[in-house]
A and B are shown apart, each in its own frame.
Chain A
Amino acid sequence: MTVDQKVRQTLAELGVTESAGVVALFAEVCETMERERRELVNRVAADKAERDRACKELRDRWLARKNGLLSLVDERWLKKAPRELKPVVGQHFNALRKASEQLEVGVLAREMKCRVAASAGAVLEARSPIVAGTTVLSGVSPDLTLPSIRRPLGSMHPVTRVLREIEEIFIALGFRIETGPEIETVEYNFDALNIPETHPSRDDWDTLYVDEKTVLRTHTSPVQIRAMRKYGAPLYVIAPGKVYRHDKPDSSHATMFHQVEGLAVDRDITFADLKGTLDYFAKRFFGEKVRTSFHPSFFPFTEPSGEVAISCTLCDGRGCRVCKESGWLEVMGCGMVHPEVLRQGGIEPEEFTGWAFGMGVERYAMMKYGIDDIQLFFQNDVRFLKQF
């Protein structure tokens, strides 16, 4: 429906019952008016009589007492507005009337003359502002306490935020970022990592299979092997990425999540480097006051293997519900790279030693942002996303 048709109907006939609809209607009218005005003043017409005729035509179309578009708005919209909409219609109508002063023949003619002069070679001044919003149109000083006009900003996914933070800490220490495929061979995902099919440790990873020889990687550890084979030693890499488990989804399990694996291989690398670096990492990530504790664990690809616990960030180690009264939270697995794994990576274990770690990114995000359900990360509810 054109504006010409709309102004011939009442708000009720147009189905407008709320002020938002009124705002939109007036905006449309204003835009149309401004467009027609611009079209006119942009028309190059040297003949004064012709100019005057065109100006009068536009002026009459809008401002004529009888059947001018503004008088129609007055009659159909304002006078027939339901009582509750009257104030808002009135306010916008006033603004429209103020703006329509630009359509008076004298103003239009002046503007057109100026254009003619410009097209004759003079430099134009800034074009008259394009008027779109009703508050600007009103011409009275606006209420500055109204909400601002904001360009909506986007946001990074919390997992990405945490991932970037982790990456940056290790990049600053001189590590490089390395990635690998999510669809892995059994060889890279298990065999080369000292996890033979014949050993029950294989069952520690509930695996999604594509076929007998192909899996969705259960950890980013295969990137260790790929990086060692690609670069040799010395080597300092972290491998962030998606991993998959055959786990029924619940508030603490997801079939897909993110891990960061780290690997340092060099001469003169010891367990002390592992401890020192991960303690540094924990303090950078969780806060300077955090203390770390290391205790033995088992991973087929590291020996000795360990778990890193940090002093509970909630209770500062005194014991609370979150840390199950222990004062400690386990945050990652780590260990000295198993000699067999170094050999699989083509690195001589008598010459080089290495340390490695693996951490779950979602868990870190949960700790950092107070999230208690891992499923929230992958539902992508905008009410969740907009908080990051």
Chain B
Amino acid sequence: MRILLSWLREFVEIPFEPRKLQADLTSIGLSVEAVTSSGSDWLLDVEVTTNRPDCLSHYGVAREIAAAYRTTIRPLKFEVQESAEAASERVSIEISDSSLCARYCGRIVEGVRVGPSPEWLARRLEAIGQRPINNIADITNYVLMELGHPLHAFDFDRIQDRRIIVRRARAGELLQTLDGIERRLTANDLVIADAARPVALAGVMGGQNSEISPQTRVVLLESAWFDPVSVRRTAKSQGLHTEASHRFERGADIGMAPVALDRAAAMVAELSGGKVLRGRLDVYPAPQNREAIVLRQSEIARVLGTEIAPSEVERILVALGFAVEAAAAGWCAQPPSFRLDVRREVDLIEEVARQFGYDRLPARVRSVSPRLERDVEREKILALSRLLTGLGYREIIPSSMVDPKDNALFTNRPPVALANPLSQDASVLRSTSLVSMASVLAFNTDRGQKDLSFFELGKTYEARANAHPAEHRVLALGLTGNRRPPSVHEPAREAKFFDLKGDVESVLELFELPELRFEEERCLAYEEGLAGRFVSGTTVLAALGRLKPDIQRRFKIRAEAWLAEIDLDQLLAFPLKQPMLRPFSRFPTVERDLSLVVPMGLPYRRIAEAIARLGIEEIYSVEPLERKAAAELPAGLVPEGHASLFLHVTFQSLTRTLTGDEVDEAAGKIYSALESLGVRLRA
């Protein structure tokens, strides 16, 4: 709300410069976004929260300032000169649905001359961002900005049968509003109608059929109070937000309706040469009386943490327009008609606190008694992110919203579609983290960044038929480019499947996982033969692989990309590994290198399993040091369809130094166990 300092000063004395006023208004809850000079005047941009429609005017802001500065607001000065003829002879006003319109006041001004507003008025409106139209429309606008009450002016000669009826629209009824749009109404919309047709959308906008024009001679001024919920519903369904609807839907001041009307009538008479007919029509079927609210002094202390002197409480409430009476444990306070937001005891306490000053209230800091339970989940998350940053991964936070076409490249799981997305490429909540990881890799390789390792701790979302969408926590990993950049010391080495596999293993290794195994596995987004997963028991914990080249090209990722998605809902359900010391040997290790020839189709896993099945306690470790297919070796070294495998086996006993014979015997057992798999010793 734009407020002119000079206008404010018509109602309240402000003995301070604008900067000080800005700070003081902020401290009572009227945040001033900006103070700018406007000629010799000052313009304040006041942010009025939705609960305070009473401050959407100069008079309303002045009222708050008067309370804060302990002064009084000046009464409005105007006089309505009435002619002899009674307005009630000329028009009848009827409210047919008083639940939607509690009060309707009207006055008639005849003999008006419609034309431009005087300069001072036009200037004021322009200064606060309003466009002058003609003197009649400008006056209703001026009074709105001054007193906060929305008014409407009809060309009375165009009101059929001189009747005003406030009623619900009939379904399908049409009304062309002042913005030129023809609107189809429903029975939920409240209209102002004449004998034949709607002439205004109540509290929102007037109709063209009764618009003020240069030919207008008689004006009917309307000042009413419409139900906030009804105005809001109509404004929303019609997509029409106006200064009037803005105030009515927040709750206008029913007590201000006749005052604003008189103020406008007086101005119309003065500025357009018209005559105000005698009498104000005021249809007010059930005058509203605000109920008094009990305010206990003890409750003030219970909420604010301090006593506030009773005299101060009273002073504040009275200054804000409340009718205050002493009661047993405190007060009874009746809110003024412009404070519809105050309905409870705690609302009164806020009023007191606000005007007393939040900064003057006490402060204390206490800590809660210590918790016994541990936040195990947080410990797990912290362990994961420490590990991954240590492994060289950078954390990313991509948007959850993606293009459904991209999402579908990675998974068949349905994403969650938004009803009102901002754009097509952010119209669903992703059902896979891989789509985001691929986008981030693409974004970076596109900017010349080559060696990338990223992780994300995020969520995926899943649409479910007839059920609330599901959310799954995931950990995504993405690699591209070199695992080790080239340097003066070492050549570069590109990231490969086994880098990713190893990092996923490191992640899994933080947890106590029974029967963990790796399996080759297909996946929509991964290249066949370069994809796999980790499984514990029957629980799939992670899927990883090389991004399919066609997807990689589509995303414009410049090099091979390796991706993994780890199911955190599953993984976090397992406990973190707890160290438990096992004895280790004091005796020396003995190492043997076994040079083997293995059939190409035999996975290493089966060799490792065969050795493990031997159950030889003295085998400390088995490491494959090299595996080469026949084609990679000098001709004749290894037969066609076979590969050479170099196994490095370490033996150690917990109880003694192993002899050469013992080790040879164990090595012999390994050979014979492997022979049944088609493995032979290399010559």
Contacts and interface: CB of A to CB of B under 8 A. Distances in A.
A154 B660 contact: no
Contact of B305 (A157, A203, A273): A273
A174 B373 CA distance: 11
Interface stretch (A77-85, A93-101, A220-228, A379-387): A379-387
List of 5 A-B pairs having minimum Cβ-Cβ separation, nearest first: A121-B660, A174-B368, A270-B305, A296-B29, A272-B305
Given A295-B27, A386-B394, 8 more contacts: A124-B590, A154-B388, A173-B367, A256-B400, A270-B301, A295-B26, A297-B49, A338-B346
B353 A23 contact: no
Nearest to B347: A303
Contact of B443 (A276, A336, A380): A380
Interface string B222-249: 0000001100110000000000001001
B677 interface: no
Contact of B368 (A136, A236, A378, A386): A236
Nearest to A234: B368
B656 interface: no
Nearest to B682: A43
Interface stretch (A62-70, A105-113, A204-212): A204-212
Interface in A152-179: 152-157, 159-160, 164, 167, 171-177
A309 to B, nearest CB: 9
Given A208-B420, A305-B350, A353-B303, A277 B395 contact: no
A298 B51 contact: yes
Nearest to B492: A24
A14 B331 CA distance: 95
A242 B365 contact: no
B564 to A, nearest CB: 15
Given A177-B375, A255-B399, A272-B306, A27 B491 contact: yes
A296 B51 contact: no
Interface of B: 22-23, 26-29, 31, 34, 49-52, 228-229, 232-233, 246, 249-250, 301-306, 344, 346-347, 349-350, 353-354, 358-359, 361-371, 375, 378, 382, 385, 388-401, 416-422, 426, 429, 440, 443-444, 447, 449, 451-455, 457, 459, 461, 468-469, 471, 485-492, 588-593, 595, 626, 646, 657-661, 663-664
Given A280-B365, A306-B358, A174 B370 contact: yes
Contacts of B34: 324
Contact of B361 (A275, A297, A378): A275
Contacts of A177: 375, 378
A290 to B, nearest CB: 14
Given A307-B31, A336-B346, A382 B394 contact: yes
Contacts of A326: 22-23
A132 B493 CA distance: 12
B416 A183 contact: yes
Contacts of B660: 119-122
Contacts of B246: 200
Given A35-B626, A156-B389, A210 B469 contact: yes
A179 B660 CA distance: 60
A157 B367 contact: no
Nearest to B349: A304
A382 B444 contact: yes
B359 A173 contact: no
B391 A154 contact: yes
A271 B388 contact: no
Given A174-B370, A272-B361, A121 B661 contact: yes
Interface size classification for chain A: 35 or more
A90 to B, nearest CB: 16
B392 A152 contact: yes
B488 A211 contact: no
A68 to B, nearest CB: 16
Interface string A217-248: 00000000000000000101000001010101
Interface stretch (A5-13, A143-151, A310-318): A143-151
Contacts of A153: 389-390, 392
Given A204-B50, A210-B416, A255 B401 contact: yes
Nearest to A23: B491
A226 to B, nearest CB: 14
A326 B401 CA distance: 37
Contact of A133 (B302, B375, B490): B490
A321 interface: no
Contacts of A164: 382
9 contacts: A119-B660, A171-B375, A183-B468, A208-B418, A236-B368, A270-B306, A277-B365, A296-B29, A303-B350
Contact of A216 (B250, B366, B418, B447): B418
A326 B27 CA distance: 13
Contacts of B229: 198
Contacts of A261: none
Interface in A1-55: 20, 23-24, 27-28, 35, 39, 42-43
A294 interface: yes
Contact of B29 (A272, A275, A297): A297
Contacts of A294: 358-359, 361
Interface in A263-286: 270-273, 275-277, 279-280
B363 A272 contact: yes
Given A20-B486, A154-B389, A304 B397 contact: no
A102 interface: no
A251 B408 CA distance: 30
Contact of B364 (A242, A272, A304): A272
A121 B419 contact: no
A132 B429 contact: no
Q: Which of B249, B449, B489, B659 has the most CB of A within 10 A?
A: B489
A119 to B, nearest CB: 6
A140 interface: no
B426 A255 contact: yes
Contact of A270 (B303, B368, B378, B591): B303
B350 A174 contact: no
Contacts of A244: 400
A255 B595 contact: no
A336 B302 CA distance: 11
Q: Which of B364, B378, B663 has the most CB of A within 10 A?
A: B364
A302 B367 CA distance: 22
A256 B398 CA distance: 9
Contacts of A214: 468-469
Given A135-B488, A208-B421, A382-B452, A124 B591 contact: yes
Nearest to B457: A160
B490 A339 contact: no
B426 A155 contact: no
A172 B51 contact: no
A214 B420 CA distance: 12
A217 B394 CA distance: 27
Contacts of B451: 152
Contact of B486 (A23, A172, A185, A203): A23
Contacts of B23: 326
Contacts of B303: 270-271, 304, 336, 353
A199 to B, nearest CB: 7
B469 A157 contact: no
Given A270-B305, A383-B449, A209 B418 contact: yes
A74 interface: no
Contacts of A123: 588-590, 657
Contact of B455 (A152, A154, A171): A154
A71 interface: no
Nearest to A142: B489
B489 A39 contact: no
